[in-house]
Chain A
Amino acid sequence: MHADPIGVLTGAHFIDGDHACSEGAIAAGCRFVAGYPITPSTEVVERIADRFPFVGGVFIQMEDEIASSIAIQGAVWGGKKAMTVTSGPGFSLMMEHIGFAAMTETPCVFVDVQRAGPSTGLPTMPAQGDMMQARWGSHGDYQIIAIAPNSPQECFDLTIHAFNLSERYRVPVMMMMDECVGHMIERVVIPEAEKIEVHNRKVYEGPKENYLAFEAGRDLVPTMVKAGDGYKIHVTGLTHDEKGYPNMSVATQAKLVQRLMDKIRLNADDIIKYEEENVEGADIVVVTFGITSRTAIPAIEQARAKGLKVGHLRLIVCWPFPEKRIRELAGRVKAIVMPELNMGQMVYEVERCAAGKCNVVSVPHAGGTVHQPKDILAAIEKSIRGK
């Protein structure tokens, strides 16, 4: 399917990452947004509120983030594509409903424009401190997808991708932006509607009798109907059988949770997305995501100019994590260096996959600004001197 031209502002724009995210959502077909505006994500909902009247969308400024994160799920079961937008403190409040979306397989997008925490922290300054929260913040076992853009152009492109993945796998997808990418203004090229691929949830159109709302086929993703179409559906956060009815049995729990995990794990190769430069033959690989990928490039170039064999792997999809690739690399490089705008989060995944096969060096930063390339360069140089 292609994007509906009504929502697509084809052309070259000079806009910030937040606005590009709004345009990506509209192009993807999002027509319901509920949010409680918070710096540095406010511009996303501001633009949505401006633009939605022209595309037939509904924006509600809610009383808080808890309400926002569940209102969108009501809209999704009413047949819409929906998202909510927030930053750290609001993201914390949404955790319960992220679990609800995972459990009820409600396709929706959570945009988190990260600022430095904990708590209210530094509201107007960047960080990447919510990466583990995105993966593990809600209780119980579940899988989500998280994406980290590094430019306004990617805020547009990857928000579309976030909706597409969400619709395809019926999972909450997190757009893990940060203040720097959100407020940075750059050229954003929006293609023609017919060049934008849009994926919509599989819809069940069979007989109404005996409809099983949570029965999945080989791809492990059930079809959906919308409330009001005459099908009997029951949507609950309780452990449920294929009919959607609560079923408090160990067997039902095992089957449901296993499928929720497997539909992402077994499709991980299709979901995982990263880009690499000069990784073949490298002694050191710098692993980055989001804005940190850009601050690392000058450091990598300087290290290469000094004769070090340094490659770069940038995570575009952070969750699920590219375990296989990091395992492979760890087996043949001397060191992996991971700068991130937090005190060391995604580096735990790198260490887990490297399993002692190479030196893993974290380049932490408490946030408030971005890394100085010289600090990343120093870590690169130390990473092989140390061993």
Chain B
Amino acid sequence: MPRTEIKIGGFGGQGVILSGYILGRAASIFDHKNATMIQAFGPEARGSATSAQLIISDEPITYPYIVAPNVMVLMSQEAYSKFSPELAPGGMLLTEEDLVATHNLRSDVKHYSIPATRFAEELGKRLVLNIVMLGFATAITNIVGREAARNAVKVSVPKGTEELNFAAFEKGYEYGLKLLKGEPEKVMA
């Protein structure tokens, strides 16, 4: 896999950094690729649009910052306005369907969306929306394997919440697979 740049964005408190961390951990520890993660660290990490920047590659990672993300996972409107112009030409954009209105989207961008918050609410905890997004991103992008991602979820979430997080991951993953086959699951409103 060549150098692939991923940016995950949302507002502080959505679990943006954790989802980036799990993806990086899946790649570097369980898929044996190289991964470098840099997180937004300033005041923006505490409430406004925040982001995790991740580089995954089979080659050693030299330049540590992302230049033009190939993949972007966005969970808030502010993050969309702020970050989406940075997407690399032909890049892939994954959004939370109900939280992000993708107006003025560039025509070269491949766009997929998922009502992750509603899925998370169905599972009983809105908090796991980031893990639903992670499952979705795993299925759509194939940057890390399903097992690697599940293993990374297992060791990264608080003890006692593994089953809930696995359910959230699988919900997002299955939805992603169906979307790729062109048959998205109907979402219960």
- Residues of A at the B interface (CB closer than 8 Å) are 12-14, 40, 124, 179-180, 183-187, 291, 294-295, 297-298, 369-370, 373
B144 to chain A, nearest CB (A): 12
Given contacts A183-B39, A185-B37, A295-B64, 11 further A-B contacts (CB under 8 A): A14-B25, A40-B41, A124-B41, A180-B38, A185-B36, A295-B63, A298-B62, A298-B63, A369-B65, A370-B64, A370-B65
Q: Are B21 and A185 in contact (CB under 8 A)?
A: yes
Residues of A with C-beta under 8 A to B62: 294-295, 297-298
B40 nearest CB neighbor, chain A only: A124
A345 CA to B96 CA, complexed, in Å: 48
With a cutoff of 8 Å between Cβ atoms, the chain B residues found around residue A291 in the complex are 64
- Decide: B64 and A184 in contact? CB cutoff 8 A: yes
List of B residues within 8 angstroms of A373 by Cβ: 63
Shortest C-beta distance, A300 to chain B (Å), equals 9
Q: Which residues of chain A have C-beta atoms less than 8 A from B21's C-beta?
A: 14, 185
Mark B59-94 against chain A: 1 for CB-CB distance below 8 A, else 0: 001111100000000000000000000000000000
User: Does B153 make an interface contact (CB < 8 A)?
Assistant: no
Seen from chain B, the residues whose Cβ lies within 8 Å of a Cβ on chain A are 21, 24-25, 28-29, 34-39, 41-42, 61-65
What 7 pairs across the A-B complex have the smallest Cβ distances? A297-B62, A14-B25, A185-B37, A187-B28, A294-B62, A124-B41, A124-B42
> Which chain B residue has the least Cβ–Cβ distance from A123?
B42
Q: How far is the CB of B51 from chain A (nearest CB, A)?
A: 14
Please state if B35 and A187 are interface contacts (CB–CB under 8 Å).
yes
Contact between B64 and A14 (Cβ–Cβ < 8 Å)? no
Q: Which residues of A contact B25 (CB under 8 A)?
A: 14
A13 to B156, CA, bound (A): 11
Q: How many A-B residue pairs have CB under 8 A?
A: 56
Distance from A35 Cβ to chain B, minimum over Cβ atoms (Å): 19
Which chain A residues lie closer than 8 Å to B24 at the CB level?
A: 14, 185
A-B contacts, 22 listed (Cβ < 8 Å): A12-B29, A14-B21, A14-B29, A40-B41, A180-B64, A183-B41, A184-B37, A184-B38, A184-B64, A185-B36, A185-B38, A186-B37, A186-B61, A187-B28, A187-B29, A187-B35, A294-B62, A294-B63, A298-B62, A298-B63, A370-B63, A370-B65
Question: Inside 8 A of B37's CB, which chain A residues have their CB?
Answer: 14, 184-186
In the complex, what distance in Å separates the CA atom of A40 from the CA atom of B37? 16
In the complex, the answer to whether B36 meets A186 with C-beta atoms within 8 Å is yes
- Give CA–CA (A184, B28) in the complex, Å: 14
> In the assembled complex, which residues on chain B have CB atoms less than 8 Å from the CB atom of A294?
61-64
Taken together as a complex, chains A and B put the C-alpha atoms of A294 and B65 apart, in Å, by 11
| B38 x A14 contact (CB < 8 A) | no
CB distance from A98 to the nearest CB of B (A): 28
| Closest-CB distance, A152 to chain B (whole angstroms) | 9
Can you name the residue of chain A whose Cβ is closest to the Cβ of B38? A184
Q: A185-B21, A187-B28, A369-B65 are in contact. Are A14 and B41 (CB under 8 A)?
A: no
B35's partner among A13, A124, A186, A369 (CB-CB below 8 A) is A186
In the complex, A186→B39 CA distance in Å? Answer: 12
B63 touches A183 (CB 8 A): no
Q: How long is the Cα–Cα vector from A218 to B166 in the complex, in angstroms?
A: 63
A30 to chain B minimum Cβ distance, whole angstroms, is 26
**Residue in A12, A14, A369, A373 whose Cβ sees the most chain B Cβ within 10 Å:** A14
- Among A124, A186, A298, A369: residue with most chain B CB under 10 A: A186
> CA A291 – CA B64 in complex, angstroms?
9
Query: Which one of A12, A187, A373 has the highest number of Cβ atoms from chain B below 10 Å of its Cβ?
Result: A187
Residues of A within 8 A of B29 (CB): 12-14, 187
The CA of A65 and the CA of B83, in the complex, are separated in Å by 39
Residues of chain B contacted by A184 (CB below 8 angstroms): 36-38, 64
Chain B, residue nearest A180 (CB): B64
Residues on B with C-beta less than 8 A from A186 are 28, 34-37, 61
CA distance A353 to B152 in the complex (A): 49
Cα distance A1–B77 in the bound complex, in angstroms: 56
A124 contact set on B, CB distance < 8 A: 41-42
How far does the alpha carbon of A184 sit from the alpha carbon of B24 in the complex, in Å?
Answer: 12
Q: What is the bound-complex CA distance between A40 and B42, given in angstroms?
A: 11
A83 to chain B, nearest CB (A): 23
Distance, CA A370 to CA B64, complexed state (A) = 9
CA A370 to CA B65, docked complex, whole Å = 9
For residue B157, give the distance in angstroms from its CB to the closest CB of chain A.
14
- Measured in the bound complex, the distance between the Cα atoms of B30 and A13 in whole Å is 10
